[in-house]
Amino acid sequence: MTEGSVYRCPACGAPADPKAGTCAYCAAKLSPVRCPWCFEWIDAAAKDCPRCGSTAAPPAPGAELKACPSCRAPETFSSRAVGAARLAGCAKCGGVWADVDSFKRLCEDRATQAAYLGTGALAAPPVQFDPSCGAIVYRPCPVCTDLMNRFNFAGCSGVILDACKPHGVWFDPDELRRIVAFIRGGGLDVARDIERQSLEDERRRLERDRKANELLSPYSPGFGVAGPVHITSAADLLFHLFDRR
């Protein structure tokens, strides 16, 4: 453990065990929490994190966090900001909550990504994970307590996140780092290419089906008889297919 990573008693400054309830030197009560940006142990009352420089940032009015979606522990969050992005970390399980605006900044702003990763260099290319390995658990939103939706970020990252559309996204330990590394490694560009290729393959398949139906149908223009055609174009069929999902 380096000098910069030592948790110190806020009263006397002596090194302290973050798992202890009181300082071994002055008996002051300890309130250690993990900084959600760098995971350094800091005091809950600390204004600035000595390692990453994040500042204390209470949740916005109406967006107070009730309990951890993962371990269900109440009032264990440390909410801190870097710039306009705000993260709240659970001191007990290490999960991290990002509100909608902060998650958007993490996805789009390279400076915010670098602040989280602790480096300005490009991360390694995205690594594929198997999202089927873990058990399926639906968790409550820490703001409204409604069950959150699960989704595979970008459709191909392999990182399954929990999201409440009005309030934000929950990350289990290490998931946010994997998401940021995925983005900085070009993962979103890969996802867009996969989506474009999928749409193109679907368009070609529908065009083949349309031509085959014209050849086989007794109501095709070659027979000179107008008949009932429920799906008249590839676009109509595509709409029909998506509407059934």
Fill in the amino acid letter for 20: A
Instruction: Please provide the DSSP assignment of 63-110 as one string.
Output: ----B-TTT--BT-EEEEEETTEEEEEETTT--EEEEHHHHHHHHH-H
Entry pTM: 0.68
CA distance 53 to 37: 9
Q: State the burial class of residue 99 (Cβ atoms within 10 Å of its Cβ: 0-12, 13-18, 19+).
A: buried
Q: Are 113 and 119 in contact (CB under 8 A)?
A: no
Per-residue pLDDT of the chain (245 residues; tens, 9 = 90+): 444 468 889 999 999 998 888 999 999 999 888 888 888 888 888 899 888 889 999 887 788 898 999 988 877 788 999 888 999 988 888 899 999 999 998 888 888 887 776 643 333 444 444 445 567 889 999 999 999 999 998 888 888 999 999 999 999 988 888 888 888 888 778 777 777 888 888 888 888 888 888 777 655 554 444 444 444 444 454 444 445 44
φ, ψ (nearest 5 deg) of residue 109 = -100, 115
